[in-house]
Amino acid sequence: MDNQELQQVIAKAQEWLSETYDEQTRTEVQALLDNEDSTELVDSFYKSLEFGTGGIRGIMGVGTNRMNIYTVGAATQGLCNYLKKNFADLPQISVAIGYDCRNNSRLFSESSAKIFAANGIKAYLFEDLRPTPELSFAIRELGCQSGIILTASHNPKEYNGYKAYWDDGSQIVGPHDVNIVNEVAKIKPEDIKFDGSDDLIEELGEDMDNKFLAEVKKVSISPDIVEKHKDIKIIYTPIHGTGVKLIPAALRIFGFTNIINIPEQDVVSGEFPTVISPNPEEPAAMEMATKKAAEIDADVVMASDPDGDRIGVAVKNDKGKYIIVNGNQTALLFIYYIITKMKEAGTLKGNEFIVKTIVSTEMIAEIARKNNIEYFDVYTGFKFIAEIIRELEGTKKYIGGGEESFGFMPSDFVRDKDAVSSVALMAEITAWAIDQGKTLYEMIQDIYLEYGYSKEKMKYVVRKGKTGAEEIQQIMTNLRNDTPKELGGSPMEWVKDYSTLIAKNLLTGEEKKIDQKITSNVLQFFTQAGTKISVRPSGTEPKIKFYFEVTGDLNSRDEFDAAEAKADMKIDAIMNELGL
């Protein structure tokens, strides 16, 4: 950072020394200004938090690039202003507010409720932490115009976040997202109305829980199979988060009776004392649960992340070891089960559709194609899945949708990924497998045998702060300007650049338009051998993600280990070619 840019950061920070800010904030800002090392000062003030794929998310602390009552307050005030413009004809605008287990989540949610009230907007505030899918449901159930939840999903403990929702219960998409960003950008600290009346704040509690769980119960497809195998051994952990509130209850209303918990991880805590990262994608986060599973020979192990929208699944493989099922495989199990059971019941009418994200496995599309089910590819983020549902509502029937990052939505009564329904439905799928004399592990293998084998891996590169953001952008620029001619020994065939919405065939020169409404900073590479590589900077974390998918041959379960090893070698070789 040059001296002029540093002086701009210092000037921005000095504004936070005014009487507009509370004493503790002023003290912390002064300490940053007094520190000879300006790294933390720059990272805290060099930009303002903006809405990304998951709303705003950042490290907690003072500054425009940090989560605190002022950045949260500005977001809420900007949202208030936008709602009042959009719904000016309504006699009473209302919003629902949820929050998770993270440090300051309750503080931020209460502050937001007061701001909504001060702007004449009715705020329904959950009495205690609740899973994200219930917040989405509550917006729809109460007829709210918007909603927010305070959460940083599966990020490390120093993070918090703010996800904003629209009146259909989905996270905000265009044009509203950009318009709200513009409104927030206009907000000065003195514009934030912090002191609203409690008269416009109403608590939500058990009554909403019961309504939500009643809808969750309808997700069950095979209650007869659940009844037959209701005592299967299910281990579930909320990893210190909101899932503890409703997921065991969801399993019970499905009919399951043998739910084993991990007491240490039922403790609600923003410190996440038993894990380094509360992310069910990481084996370490599920280690206590899989260890317990080995002791009792559990049929399935499941976890949810802190805000109860992501599902982690672990199963026992053919060697007796519990392994985590990746997010693509989880989505495959759900899609395969839903379609198979609908076919058996004769309930497919021909107007059903599923949705996946562009970085998720192409196997989902293959299952859809072979069963004559329409499918849609969307950008990462369940708000784009919800957008498709909204557009097709009343004409076509949504039957499932997911993404590789451990998210699935088995029904449209919520409009965000839903670990509450998903955990219960995965338990049902486990029972279904057992009813056929299979394990979940064998069922995954059988899906590959029926629809074709593929293997996926994700690799991310972390680059923090302002310099990190610049490095990530340079990686994308280099890949655009110097596209590999081949990868994994196979010629590069198609390159899709979602920043221009142009797909180009490098072998023939053919170009075609990509069917997406908006651009996105994503690149995809497809080789002649069927390998797919997707590259995208994260919208919520300081990292760039590389997604790899390779295909292979599989003729029997006995060949599965060899196919896996071959695919791993192929992916590792491609990673090496890309310098990862």
| Element spanning 246, H or E | helix 243-254
CATH classification of 47-204, choosing from 3.30.70.260, 3.40.50.720, 3.40.120.10, 3.30.1180.20?
3.40.120.10
3-state secondary structure (DSSP) of residue 387: helix
Question: Residue 439: its pLDDT value, please?
Answer: 96
Our CA angle for 464, 468, 469, nearest 5°, is 110
Q: Which structure tokens are listed for 48?
A: 């303002």
Cβ neighbours of 6 (radius 10 Å): 14
Distances (CA, A) of 446 to 336, 341, 425, 443, 558: 11, 16, 19, 5, 11
How many Cα atoms sit within 13 Å of 523 on the Cβ side?
Answer: 18
Query: 14-46 in b/e burial notation, b at 16+ Cβ within 10 A?
Result: eebeeeebeeebbebbeebeeeeebebbbbbbb
For residue 326, what is the DSSP state?
P
Candidate list 109, 111, 146, 153, residue with the active-site label? 153
How far is 528 from 262, CA to CA, in rounded Å?
47
Q: Which structure tokens are listed for 540?
A: 């919520």
**Domain range summary for the chain, segments of one domain joined by +:** 47-204, 217-451, 453-577
CATH topology classification for 217-451 = Alpha-D-Glucose-1,6-Bisphosphate; Chain A, domain 3 (3.40.120)
Residues 6+ apart with CB under 8 A from 114: 194, 195, 196, 201
How far is 337 from 222, CA to CA, in rounded Å?
10
How far is 234 from 260, CA to CA, in rounded Å?
6
For residue 359, what is the DSSP state?
T
How far is 142 from 207, CA to CA, in rounded Å?
12
Q: Which structure tokens are listed for 12?
A: 């921005």
0.85 cut: is pTM over it? Answer: yes
How far is 413 from 234, CA to CA, in rounded Å?
25
Contact 100, 277 (CB under 8 A): no
SS (H, E, C) 458-492: EEEEECCHHHHHHHHHHHHHHHHHCCCCEECCEEE
Bridge partners (DSSP) listed for residue 202: 124
- Judge whether 153 counts as a catalytic residue: yes
CATH topology classification for 453-577 = TATA-Binding Protein (3.30.310)
Question: Residue 531: its pLDDT value, please?
Answer: 97
Bridge partners (DSSP) listed for residue 123: 95, 201
Query: 367-403 in b/e burial notation, b at 16+ Cβ within 10 A?
Result: bbeebebebbbbbbbbbbbbbbbeebeeebbbbbbbb
Question: Residue 542: its pLDDT value, please?
Answer: 80
Cβ neighbours of 515 (radius 10 Å): 9
Contact 216, 283 (CB under 8 A): no
How far is 117 from 199, CA to CA, in rounded Å?
8
Q: At what angle do helices 419-435 and 206-217 cross, to 10 degrees?
A: 30
Task: For residue range 465-502, list pLDDT tens digits in order.
Answer: 778 888 899 999 999 999 999 999 999 999 999 999 99
Question: Residue 2: its pLDDT value, please?
Answer: 77
* DSSP class per residue in 137-154: HHHHHHT-SEEEEE--TT
How far is 288 from 265, CA to CA, in rounded Å?
9
pLDDT below 50 — which residues of the chain?
53
Q: At what angle do helices 440-451 and 327-345 cross, to 10 degrees?
A: 80
Task: For residue range 197-218, list pLDDT tens digits in order.
Answer: 999 999 999 999 999 999 999 9
Question: Residue 49: its pLDDT value, please?
Answer: 81
Question: Residue 540: its pLDDT value, please?
Answer: 65
Alpha helices in 371-464 (DSSP H): 382-392, 419-435, 440-451
Task: For residue range 57-113, list pLDDT tens digits in order.
Answer: 899 999 999 999 999 999 999 999 999 999 999 999 999 999 999 999 999 999 999
Q: Which structure tokens are listed for 511?
A: 């170009």
Bridge partners (DSSP) listed for residue 352: 397
Our CA angle for 32, 158, 239, nearest 5°, is 170
Question: Residue 222: its pLDDT value, please?
Answer: 97
3-state secondary structure (DSSP) of residue 397: strand
| Element spanning 261, H or E | strand 259-261
Alpha-carbon torsion (46, 155, 402, 140), positive or negative: negative
How far is 82 from 142, CA to CA, in rounded Å?
20
Radius of gyration of the chain (CA): 24
* DSSP class per residue in 190-224: GG------GGGEEEE-HHHHHHHHHHHHTT-S-HH
Domains 47-204 and 217-451 share a fold: yes
Q: What is the length of the chain?
A: 580
Alpha-carbon torsion (271, 272, 273, 277), positive or negative: negative
